[in-house]
Every structure is written in C-alpha cells, then in structure tokens.
Amino acid sequence: MTGGLHIVNRYENLTSESTLKIVELSKKFDLHMNGILYNQAKAATYLSIEEFVKIIEQINNSTILKQLLNACLGIQKISEITPVRYRSMMYIIDAQISKLENNISQSLSKLHEALLCCPIDDVMTSIVYFLKKFEFHETIIQTLIDDVRSIKIHFDQTRSIDLINSIMIIKQMKNDHMKAALSYIDLSMAVKDLTCIISNFLLAGLHFYELMKQTSEPSKIYAYRNIIIELTIEAFYLSRRYLPLHMQIYMFKIAFSLVIKSTQLLQVQMKSKQQSSNDQSSTHLLITKQHKIILTELLKDIILLTRMSPLSQVPLSRSYDLLYIEVVGQELLSMFLINSANSESGTLYKSYLYQYYVFEGVWHQWIRNETFDSARFNCMQSLLSRESWTMIDVQNLLNWSRLRRTIDGWLPSETYPLNLDRQTQFKKVNCISFNINTGEIKFLFQVVQSKDYGLFDVDDIQEVLKKGITSSLFTLDQPNIEFQSHPFQEMRYAPKSLSNTNFLSTLLHADYLLKMISTGVEICSEPPFQMRDASDGFMKRLPEWLQEQLKPIDQRKDCVIMNSVHRFWIEAGEITYEHEFDENNNIITYYLGDVPMCVKKQLMQYDEQGNLIDDLSKTDEDHSPEGEFAQAFTCYYDEIGSYFPELLRLKELLKLGVLLLFIRSTFHNIQKYINNITIDVDPIDDYLQRLRNQINYPRATSYEVDHIVNSLLSEKDISYSDVPYRQMNELKTKIRSQLIEVDEDNLSQITEAICEACHCSYKKFMVKGLISNWLQYNQKLELVSCITDSLKTYKQEQYLKVLETIVCMGVNLDKDTQFNLNNSPTNCVSLEINLKAGTVEKNNQQTVEIDAGNMMNITGKQQQGTSVSNRSGGTSNRNGNQGGNIGGSANGPCDPPDNGSSRQREPKRTEPANLNEQIALKAAKAGDPTAKILPIELTDSNYPSTSGWVKMQYFHEDTGINIHYVKNTKTGEEADFKFKNKPKDK
C-alpha cells in the first residue's frame, strides 16, 4: 500500500457495511504503520544514542514503545541489562513511555537512571534534548513541592560504594539512631569533601528526627529538634556557597523537610503538654524569625534553581554514593547550561541566566570544559544587555579622564600627575577669609611646585561648592543577592549630588585601588577587563619595603581564606580648624589643618538571604593578616598617596567641603544677625547729651539778643535810655541775624557730626530738622529713633556685602540632610566631616590668595575683580597685582568705563595676562572649529602666504577674548598668537 486512504463520500452517507470495511482497513493501516515504527525503533537500538533518542522521541504511540521494551528485556529487569549503554537506551524508552502517559515525574526518574548507569556524553546530550521540552519544567516544580511534604529515612536502591566508614555507620544505624547520628557528625570531621560533609550533617539530622519520633520526653524532643535546626542551617549556608546547582536542590529538599517535620513533632508535643497540665496561657515561639527566613530561602532556592538544573530527582543516598551522583549530575548540568547559553532560541529562560550559571560553575570549578575568561566575558555581556548597557558603559566608568592609563587600559607602573588644568591646579587647601567691610571672600591655596602634583583645580572647587558636597559615602556592593558570583559590583553613594562628578570618580578609583591592593589583582579598564597580578603593574611604583608592607592578604602569614570575608574602607578622621577675627579690619578667617585618613576593616558574613553583613559575633583582632594590612595602609597613607595622587586628593576634596560648611555657616549666621540687630539707645543718649553740653543752641532768642545789647552798652558805658529807639531796633536786628547765622552753622556742624557718626548722611535734611527740634524743644525721641534706624541699616548693609558675594558665587546653601545607602552596610568609604577647634600651623609659603567670587565664575563670560596675590613673591604686572593671577577685571580701577565712544587701540600682546586669556589661548591652540580666516595678506617674511600661511581670528565666547594668529593650511601648524584686546564687559 503505497498511497493514502482518500474518502470522497461523506461518512454519514456510508452504509453500515462500508463503515465496517473502512474501520477494518484503518486498523490494518495502523497495524502496518506501527510495524514500520516498531522496526525503525528496534533498528535504532543499534545506532548511536543521539540518533536513537531522536527516533524514539518522534514516536507518539506508547503501545509500540512498550512492545519494543518488552521485546528487548524479555524476562530481565532494566537494571539487569548489559551492557550499560544498552541499558540506558531501555531507560530512555521507559522515560518516553511515562512522558506519553503524562507521568512526567516518572519520566524524569527514568532519565536519571539512564544517566547514572551510563554517564557518557551521548547519554547526557540525549537527556539534555529531553529536558529542554516545556512540559518537563511545568511538572518539576510540583514534583519538588510534593517531595518536601514527605520525608524518608530508608535509602533508595542505588548501587552503593562499599567503604568501611559507611558500612560501620550502616550497621550502627540498624541498632541505634543516636550512635548513627553521632557517627555521621564524626565522619564530617574526617573528610574534606564539602558534599560529604553537608550530606553527613543532613543524614545525622535524619537520625535525630527518628529519635524524636521514638521518644516522648519533651526535653529530648526539644534538644533533638534544636540539633536538627543547627545542622540544617549549617548545611544551608555551605550548600549555597560551594555546591553545584543539582546538589543544592538535593540538600535544600532534605533540609526543608527536616525543619518542617521536626517542628511539627515538637508542636504536637507542646500541645500535648499544655493539655495535660491544663496550662493554656503559655505561648512558645516554635519558628523564630531566622527559621522563617531560612525556610523561605530554602523553598525559593529550590524553585529558582530548578530553572537551571531541571534534573532534580536525586534519590536519598548515603554520602559516598552521593559523590558519584554529584559527579555524573555535574557533567549533565554543565552540558545543559552551556548548550542553553549558546542557543539563540528555544530556551526556556533568558540567556543571561544560563550565561551567569556557566560562569558560576567555572568559578567554583564544577564546570571544567569552559575557560574562565570566556565564561566571564559572556556572562558580563549578557548581564549588561539585560539592563540595556554595554561594555563601553563600564569602560567609561573605569577610564576616568583625570587618571592616566596605558594605551591598553592598565594603570602605569610609574607615577604620573592627575590630569588637571595646569593654570588652576593646587596642592592644598589652607584657609578661607570673609571681609565683612568689603564683602570679599578669599581662598588661600598652596600652589603646585615643579616636583609636586596638583590634587584639585577650579572645576573641583566649583563642583563641591555649587553641588553642595560636604560629607559623602561610597561603597561597591553585590548587585544582586540571587547571583552570589556576580562579575560586577554595584556602585552606591550618597548624597545624590555626587552623580556625574569628578568627586564621585575620585571615591570610586580610591576605593577600587584599595581593593586591588588588598587582593593583589589589577583589573584592566578596557573590555574584556582582563586581570593580572598587581605586582606586575601599578605596584611597581612603590619601593620594595612599601610593597612588602602592603602585601596582599592571601600572601600573608596565618591567612585564612574560608569564612574570612573582610571589608576594607577609607575613613576620614577629625579635621582641626582655627578661627581668627581681625577686629581692626573686620575679617573672619578659618584655617584648616591636615585630614588624617585611615583604612578600616570588618569581618563579614552572609546572612540568611545571601547579603554580606557585619559579623559581630567574633572579635576582629588587629593582629590578623587583614588587621595588619589596614594598619600598614593607615600608617603609610600619605606615603602611598605620593605614588597614587587620588588618595591624597580625597583629603583636599573633603577640605573643600569644609570650606563650604564655613560659607554656609557664615551665611546663615550673618542672615540671623541681620534679622536680629538691636541698637542700644543708652550710648546714643549719652552721645547726644555730650553734644548738648558742648553747644548753646539756639542763640537767636530775645533773651540772648537783649543780653548782648546790654553787654555792648555796658562796655561803652552807655545807658539803654540814651539810645534812640530806631537805632536800638537796628542793633537788635543785626545781632539777631548774626545769631541766626551762628545757629545755622552750629546746627550744620552738629548734623554733620551726627550723620557721620551714625551713618545717616543719606537723609541729612530730615536729620537736620530732627536735631533742630531736639535742640530747641528737647524733642529727642524722634531723633534717637532715626539714629537707631540708621545704625541698624548701616550694619545690615555692611554685612549684606558678604551675603551678596556668597549668592553671586552660586554656592549651594541648602543644609545637609541625613543620608544613607538604603540599609546597606555602613562600613564604606566615609568622608564625613568631623571638625574640632584647635591650633593650626599656618604655613603661607608658596600659597596663593584667590578671590572666591572670581574663582566661582571663572568659566563664565565675565570675571569679576582682580583677586590673586602670591604670598611667596612674584613679579607685578602693570595693574600692580602679583604674579599668578587667576583673573582680572575687564574694566579695572585704571580703565575708563566703556560708554560706546572710541578708545585708543591697545598694543597687541603675545603673552596672556590672566587666566581668561590662558583659557582662550588653550582653546585656540586646540584648533577650535569656530576660528575664521581673515582676508588679510601676510607681509611677515616668516609666514609667507605662498607657503600656505593665512591670518586667523578666534573669538572665545566664554571669556570674550579675541586672538589673532597665523596658520599653515598645508601642515596645520599654528604660530604668532596675539591678544588683540581685553575682554569686554557683558
């Protein structure tokens, strides 16, 4: 029969006889096809196992497979078939039968048997082929949940390894569970394999569980249950850290069942005790918070790990038997993960999960057919793509523009200065001063000498003050507790204003350097981020004696690697400051001392959820290898910093933060003072009284006129009656007019004196009237009130100058708020400001005084004021300022204001006179594309136009500087830079 069966008539129209014939024909067809499939399947047993599986998997009729299995077995059982390769085929047939009958759990068990009996590559590849089917995973989770509901003390019939220790325990187990349990614990101390140790713990727990069932004494039940809890917790911690996935699932299933079942027995006993004693009031916490977390983690890990290790049907086995199961399952797990990780489609879960567990397997050495570098690179790429990141994003974090690296991404073996702006780089922060009278704020920084390295520049000053960075926290933490061997660390910091700053980059690279020195491993900043011994790279900067002091932890005497995770971090100590107030000039000055830095360490442990936390249960001795390293780093911090400037830079950035605190404090104190200024009226009253006692006002009164007239007549010996009435009136009128002039002069003098003394000249006319009323009518209250208001306004205006300067600087004046790292460990790079008053050594050698307002606006289009003087000496420029200027005013004291009229052309200069011009020159030399060619024919023979020289003009927008120069269009050479004019006011 070579064709198909075609029915053209409708089935309901067929006669009964026709229907029977069709059914009979269909049965013959099915029988014939089954025979063909049977023969194909039987013939496949002579092929390779991979080809055999592909044929068997396509057969959807369990009857055919059962016939084939019975024919192959005869009267034997599958476990009796030889050779083992043929036996594994029989198990695979049986697994396919169970699968077709929707018994996935049984199918998994048969696949497991096939693996155990013949753990060769072909069998493993075939099982992986089966396991990638979706229906398996849908059933595995339910199977696992069913497993943890029951607990078994008997062992499955797996082929045992007859070892003496195991046989002795088996004999004891039959007679005495206590001896068996203690024997397993003793055996744990005698073996070195972690799988054996953990298995022994759990097997001991199983025997203690049997003891719980056999006793009725509450104290023993309670004791046995506590031992079980301790054993399972220890097994949980060790399994999670060191075992392959399939062994973790095996251990977790037993541990979960033991905790639940032993607690249930204890609960029953407690209820029985309460009923017998009629005590219903007492309550007992059977499951503590720790137990609850561990149970949750156990169940969660069982389910999550099954995604990556679907062959979870490992039978309960003795410790030595388990070693064989571990090795066989390890090879299958390795093949399954690598196959899934390399598959572009058809996998059950995201690629990054498989890539990660391949890397974890290589890292923990339970995957051996993959290189570490390859697994690490693939894992990093997949984890980054999960977050829509790339290797370039990581590279950008590691390649800090201020830190020099070799062309291939390594730290150089020689010390180089930080890449700072050469014109505005400084070495140390010395002090800050506030001039209350003028409103000027000045920084005093130590300049960089020829052999020194700059540690910060104007960008750092602006960054700290404008973003409000004072104290800071930084740590590199594990990104995801689900991935214990994550190839990256997550950068966490506070406050948020650190984002995208050089301050944050400094914290990162200082902390990263500390980690690399402590581990002795350097990470390249270029993908794929290779590793090498630090001694072959950047550690060569240090002298040999210092290299010995900073020897990696694992190379030190008495170093313990297991359960000895330590965290190292850099912490700032107390900063001494000194406050001075110059009463004569009304200047407040704060001097800063050095910042003591130290490296601290803390022993860590994993909690129940896989987080690294402080281990406070043990005394962290300073004589440990980690303690010696931290002490050495602290002792030689400055010495190390001379080779790694980023470490010393931390100090100065923190001191810049202290300057910000002083600015904020001064701003808020002055603001508070201005709002609460009170003028004492008693000194004013005394002052006015002294003035009143010194003068006679008013003089132009009738009494005073008559007195003068009488005096004159008396002097001339003339009788009053002898003077004619008309002449007497003229005399009195003349005297009165003179007295009025005297009164006016006196009043003006008094007004001038009071206005000058009380700073009220701006309202002299009003003050004069008030003084007149006071002198004539003794109306003093209004005058005192006016003087009080004037003095208050004067003081406010005087102090407002400082506030205006601070506001113009753009300083972040928001007070610091408490910040943390969202419950992360507190032990991290901690640059918290702790100030203490004291005496500071004032070393003003090689320092520069800088106007803060000018410094904060140095990148703007217009700088305000000329404000730099070098205290160590220097040549004066034409404006009388000392050399080393940070900036100059466009219209200084000697420059007339630009009112639009023409001014005399200034001679072109070939050297920059201030920082603005230096910045503009740097931009011009860098070949700014905004430069223009001028239509001017060159006459200088040094730059002939025939050779390609042209006249160029460049206007630097940020500074307003105009530069002329010449450029060779053929060679790109630039020369003869000249500044045409000073920057204009904007």
Contacts of 76-80 with CB under 8 Å at 24 or more apart are: 78/113, 79/113, 79/117
- CB atoms under 10 Å from CB of 365, counted, come to 10
**Paired tokens of 280:** 């219903």
CB 37 within 8 A of CB 59: yes
967 SS3 class: strand
Average pLDDT over residues 819-833: 59
> pLDDT tens digits for 316-350?
888 878 888 888 888 888 888 888 888 877 677 88
Q: Do β-strands 834-837 and 574-582 pair in parallel, antiparallel, or remain unpaired?
A: parallel
Of 1-5, 682-686, 913-917, 946-950, minimum mean pLDDT range: 1-5
Of 280-294, 784-798, 888-902, minimum mean pLDDT range: 888-902
- Which one, of 982, 854, 984, 986, lies nearest residue 913 by Cα? 982
Q: What single letter denotes the amino acid at residue 372? A: F
**Alpha helix stretches (DSSP H) within 759-874:** 764-777, 781-809, 852-856
> pLDDT tens digits for 749-795?
888 888 888 888 878 888 888 888 888 888 889 888 998 988 888 88
pLDDT for res 169: 56
pLDDT > 60? residue 562: no
Of 250-259, 611-620, 630-639, minimum mean pLDDT range: 611-620
> pLDDT tens digits for 575-597?
999 999 998 889 999 999 999 99
CB 460 within 8 A of CB 655: no
pLDDT for res 523: 93
Q: What single letter denotes the amino acid at residue 863? A: Q
Concatenate the DSSP letters of all residues of 347-398 into one string: -SS-HHHHHHHHHHHHHTTS--SS-HHHHHHHHHHHHHHHTT--HHHHHHHH
Query: What's the CA gap between 340 and 382, in Å, rounded?
Result: 13
The torsion angles phi and psi of 604, rounded to 5 degrees, stand at: -120, 165
pLDDT for res 312: 67
How many residues make up the chain in this entry? 986
Confidence of residue 863 (pLDDT cuts 50, 70, 90): very low
pLDDT > 90? residue 870: no
Confidence of residue 857 (pLDDT cuts 50, 70, 90): confident
Beta-carbon contacts of 745 under 8 Å, excluding residues fewer than 6 positions away, are none
- Which one, of 63, 57, 71, 74, lies nearest residue 30 by Cα? 63
> pLDDT tens digits for 701-712?
888 878 888 888
pLDDT for res 50: 83
Average pLDDT over residues 103-109: 79
The half-sphere exposure of 488 on its side-chain side, counting CA atoms within 13 A, is: 25
pLDDT for res 892: 32
> pLDDT tens digits for 730-755?
888 888 888 888 888 888 888 888 88
Looking at residue 456, the DSSP 8-state letter turns out to be B
The b/e string for 175-206 (b: 16+ C-beta within 10 A; e otherwise) is eebeebbbbbbebbeebeeebbbbbbbbbbbb
pLDDT for res 909: 62
Question: Which range has the top average pLDDT, 187-201, 946-960, 969-983?
Answer: 187-201
pLDDT for res 740: 84
- Which one, of 832, 812, 829, lies nearest residue 493 by Cα? 829
Question: Which range has the top average pLDDT, 275-284, 364-373, 916-925?
Answer: 364-373
Looking at residue 623, the DSSP 8-state letter turns out to be T
% of the chain with per-residue pLDDT over 90: 22
Confidence of residue 986 (pLDDT cuts 50, 70, 90): very low
- CB atoms under 10 Å from CB of 255, counted, come to 28
Q: Is 882 exposed, middle or buried (0-12, 13-18, 19+ CB in 10 A)?
A: middle
Place of tokens 């001795």: 621
pLDDT for res 885: 30
Confidence of residue 20 (pLDDT cuts 50, 70, 90): confident
The torsion angles phi and psi of 241, rounded to 5 degrees, stand at: -85, -30
654 SS3 class: helix
CB 881 within 8 A of CB 859: no
pLDDT for res 557: 66
Of 437-446, 671-680, 887-896, minimum mean pLDDT range: 887-896
pLDDT for res 260: 87
pLDDT > 90? residue 152: no
Between vectors from CA 822 to CA 359 and to CA 572, what angle results, nearest 5°? 95
pLDDT > 50? residue 447: yes
Confidence of residue 542 (pLDDT cuts 50, 70, 90): very high
pLDDT for res 866: 33
Q: What is the average pLDDT value for the chain, to the nearest integer?
A: 79
> pLDDT tens digits for 376-400?
999 999 999 988 999 999 999 899 9
Confidence of residue 883 (pLDDT cuts 50, 70, 90): very low
pLDDT > 90? residue 661: yes
pLDDT for res 819: 55
pLDDT for res 623: 74
pLDDT for res 205: 92
Q: How far is CA 342 from CA 350, 375, 873, in A?
A: 12, 11, 69
pLDDT > 80? residue 953: yes
> pLDDT tens digits for 602-614?
776 666 666 666 6
More confident residue, 975 or 917: 975
Of 112-126, 139-153, 675-689, minimum mean pLDDT range: 139-153
Query: What's the CA gap between 536 and 520, in Å, rounded?
Result: 10
Q: How far is CA 383 from CA 102, 352, 440, 479, in A?
A: 36, 6, 53, 11
pLDDT for res 588: 93
- CB atoms under 10 Å from CB of 241, counted, come to 16
Q: Is 839 exposed, middle or buried (0-12, 13-18, 19+ CB in 10 A)?
A: exposed
pLDDT for res 643: 94
Query: What's the CA gap between 667 and 436, in Å, rounded?
Result: 11
Average pLDDT over residues 106-115: 83
> pLDDT tens digits for 213-237?
888 888 888 899 999 999 999 999 8
Beta-carbon contacts of 9 under 8 Å, excluding residues fewer than 6 positions away, are 18
